[in-house]
Structure 1
Amino acid sequence: MARYPAVAGSFYPEGEALIEMLEKFFRDLGEHGSERRITAGVVPHAGYIFSGYTASRTFKAIYEDGLPETFVVIGPDHTGLGSPIAVYPGGKWLTPLGEIEVDPEMAKAIAKLSGIADLDELAHKYEHSIEVQLPFIQYLAERAEKEVRIVPISLGIHDEEVVEDLGKAIYEAAKKLGRDIVVIASTDFMHYGPAYGYVPFRARADELPHRVKEWDFRVIQKILDFDVKGMFDEIRKMGHTLCGPGGVGTAVVYSRLAGALEAELLHYTTSFEVSRSTDAIVGYASIVFRK
């Protein structure tokens, strides 16, 4: 079974334009490492023109730390299709850079060990949040001359119960199979402005991105503190519109179990830096967790 691209040519370019963009993002890429301290990363999933550089910072850090055997890539389900906790069971995902294999043993082990996850393809059919991460992985895997696989997981439910269950299932599955993995949590941060139903702050237009950053950093600090409950509390208290808290929380839970001791914010920006529009401002962050 193969999953074909849903957003190639819109969220990210095709052909030589994609290669050129990735080369630009990774022009400061160091040597492929072998330290393997990174347990998980947080990346945005907007169009590459807005958030591609930010996403590349997480993948750059992972490359220089050492690519794993399998990336477990968790993204929010924006489409509402399929299972609310959907693990892609096997086969290949296609992008303009070619094929990448799903790790079927890891996928089945996660679904079996979880009390809530299902093996399901439908939730992934049109969803962009995982797809946009794959060209980064493929580009770096080819550069490292290493075969890597993926386990895509789509989340339609985001709460403490989900992240505790899923983070533990991923950890236990990797341990049982002896699999070297990195968890990737795909999320954009604050979605603000009339386009998202938010009444603008009583502030000058040029102040709005700074307000969005303030809101985001309240949540980011909880993530850096490995504080899942605090993250969800902050989101609820502020009415924060982070779209993938379930994936981020799962990455934190997995990282704690895998022995991570520190987290680092590598890059932060907003869509305003490119669009200069205050009708819709979205925050983007690159974060890694390390042993």
Structure 2
Amino acid sequence: MGVRYPAVAGSFYPADEELVEMLERFFRDLGEEGSERKITAGVAPHAGYVFSGYTASRTYKAIFEDGLPETFVVLGPNHTGLGSPIAVYPEGEWLTPLGSIEIDAEMAKAIARLSGIADLDEMAHTYEHSIEVQVPFIQYLAEKAGKDVKIVPITLGIQDEEVAKDLGRAIFEASKELGRDVVVIASTDFTHYGPVYGYVPFRARADELPHRIKEWDFQVIRHILDFDVDGMFNEIRKLDHTMCGPGGVGTAIVYSRLAGAVEAELLHYTTSFEVSRSTDAVVGYASIVMRK
């Protein structure tokens, strides 16, 4: 049974009691847990909480008020290059400063078996932050609801239409085979702009920059809201867009369509500039949910 220890506690998010205080601020408008269970998937950012935590909380707030699932399948880009290109964490538990959360091993193994491309692999997850930063949100809300919620972490080192369609189908078929109530979380940031990233697709004054980046991101987001996987990837290629987790978002769209989703909603959008005021590195963040 594997134990995955936190790699970015104390950097991307607090490693002590400040974490709960921060989450309580994010969720100060949290309503009661719902029971409708119409949400099939969500998109949430994975930067440091000071930059993107509030935006991420909007996705989880909506899911909580809709009703928590049994299992969150959380997909994030593989920034480290370690391990399998498509890596499903097989079994055990993940630790954060909020305690442990169990891996849904049955679901993980079913996804890997039903997929034509995924492997059961722990190595890819060892230092990866894109999924880890989602876990405290899930733990905090599971505690609020008094529920034992499980996760299936999946890192993507390859991100294209074929991967999204394979994984979306595999997650859906696994959920049906096991009778599992699932929500898919796609962990992604959007535009990475500035000299730090070596990417300056347009010039703008500092006061114009957040608006220009929002316009840039919304050319991709509109395809997500239309459940248009092929259109999203075509737009990313056309723009040379620097969204880092399109494979997970595409997977969420494919799964949601198979699960009967009919609408997608953008809940919140911001950029890191709103906090940093720096034009050297600006990243866009969006909160999106998909519903039946």
Q: Do the structures match in fold with TM over 0.5? A: yes
> Is the Cα contact below 8 Å between 2:266 and 2:287 reproduced in 1?
yes
| Structure 1 counterpart of 2:57 | 56
Distance in 1 (alpha carbons) for counterparts of 2:128 and 2:210: 27
Q: Give the secondary-structure state (helix, strand or coil) at the position aligned to 2:219.
A: helix
Is the contact made by 1:111 and 1:117 (CA closer than 8 Å) also made in structure 2?
yes
For residue 177 of structure 1, what is the aligned residue in structure 2? 178
Paired-residue identity, %? 82
- Matching residue's letter, 2:156: L
Q: Normalization by structure 2: what TM-score? A: 0.99
Give the equivalent residue in structure 1 for 2:210.
209
Residue 247 of structure 1 aligns with an amino acid whose one-letter code is G
Deviation at 1:63, TM superposition (A): 0.3
Is the 2:204–2:212 contact (alpha carbons within 8 Å) kept by the matching residues of 1?
A: no
What one-letter code is carried by the residue in structure 2 that aligns with 1:140? L
The answer to whether the 8 Å contact 2:46/2:130 transfers is yes
Residue 37 (str. 1) matches residue 31 (str. 2): no
Instruction: Output the CA distance in 2 between the equivalents of 1:287 and 1:136.
Output: 15
- Aligned match of 1:128: 129
Q: Show structure 1 runs of 4+ deviating over 6 A.
A: none
In the TM superposition, residue 14 of structure 1 has moved relative to its aligned partner by 1.8
Distance in 2, Cα, partners of 1:109 & 1:245:
23
User: Over residues 30-52 of structure 1, what are the superposed CA-to-partner deviations in whole Å (9 max), with x where a residue is unaligned?
Assistant: 00011000000000000000000
Alignment-derived partner of residue 70 in structure 1: 71
1:64 aligns to what SS in structure 2? helix
1:150 aligns with 2:146: no
Question: C-alpha displacement at 1:89, in angstroms?
Answer: 0.2
Contact 1:193–1:199, Cα closer than 8 Å, also in 2: yes
- For residues 200 and 276 of structure 1, do their structure 2 counterparts lie closer, same or farther at Cα, with a shift above 3 Å needed? farther
SS of residue paired to 1:205: coil
Does the Cα contact within 8 Å between 2:5 and 2:96 map onto a contact in 1? yes
Contact map agreement 2:69 2:181 (CA 8 A) in 1:
yes
Conserved? CA contact 1:194–1:200, under 8 Å: no
Q: 2:168 is matched with which residue?
A: 167
SS in 1 for 2:209: helix
**Which residue of 1 is the match for residue 236 of structure 2?**
235
The AA in structure 2 aligned to 1:137 is: I
- Report the alpha carbon displacement of residue 202 of structure 1 after superposing the two structures with TM: 3.1
CA distance in 2, matches of 1:265, 1:168: 24
Say yes or no: does 1:98 pair with 2:105: no
Match of 1:107 in 2: 108
SS in structure 2 opposite 1:269?
strand
- Cα separation, 1, equivalents of 2:109 and 2:136: 24
Instruction: Give 1:200 deviation, angstroms.
Output: 6.4
Tell whether 2:8 aligns with 1:10: no
Instruction: Tell me the alpha carbon deviations over residues 124-172 of structure 1, each in whole angstroms, 9 at most, x when there is no partner.
Output: 0000000000000000000000110000000000000000000000000
Deviation at 1:203, TM superposition (A): 2.6
Flag structure 1 segments of 5+ consecutive residues without an equivalent: none
Counterpart CA distance in 2 for 1:242 and 1:215 is: 11
Q: Is the contact made by 1:106 and 1:173 (CA closer than 8 Å) also made in structure 2? A: yes
Structure 1 residues 182 and 200: alpha-carbon distance in aligned structure 2, compared to 1, 3 A threshold: closer
Range with greater deviation from structure 2 (207-216 or 24-33): 207-216
- Contact 1:191–1:282, Cα closer than 8 Å, also in 2: yes
TM-score when normalising by structure 1: 0.99
* CA distance in 2: counterparts of 1:66 and 1:13, whole angstroms: 27
For residues 18 and 12 of structure 1, the distance between their equivalents in structure 2, rounded to whole angstroms, comes to 7
Counterpart code for 2:260: G
Post-superposition CA distance 1:196-217 (Å, at most 9, x none): 1123633322212211111100
Q: Deviations over 1:244-277 (max 9, x none)?
A: 0000000000000000000000000000000000
Instruction: Determine helix, strand or coil for the equivalent of 1:212.
Output: helix
SS state at 1:154 partner: strand
